[in-house]
Amino acid sequence: MMIETCADIAGHIISDGGMRAPKSYAEGFIVLKENGVISDALLDPLVRMAKFRNIVVHQYDEVDAEVVIAILQKHLDTFRQFRDQVLRHLRAEKP
């Protein structure tokens, strides 16, 4: 899942940056926001997708595939924004 990839990237940034350790995928995005990696506007959709990811992983038999597809189609730009903001952060950290 794309949100899991974003959460993995968040984990690397958090670890490499010595930021506080999150207790969940969703909290990982909160930590990124606290440290100026992602914007306020991007935080909410990423947190909601991380929480939805947990439903998909743990209750997959109850998830409608059409809902998952609709969410992905609606939020492709969210993933692009995450990519752009992470790249901006990483470029700013290089000497």
Q: Any idea which residues carry the catalytic annotation?
A: 53, 58
Name the amino acid, one letter, at 70: A
Run of H or E residues at 71: helix 65-74
Tokens 């998830």 found at: 63
Residues 38, 32: contact at Cβ < 8 Å?
yes
Return the closest-CA partner of residue 11 out of 82, 83, 21, 1: 21
Helix axes 65-74 and 40-58, enclosed angle (nearest 10): 160
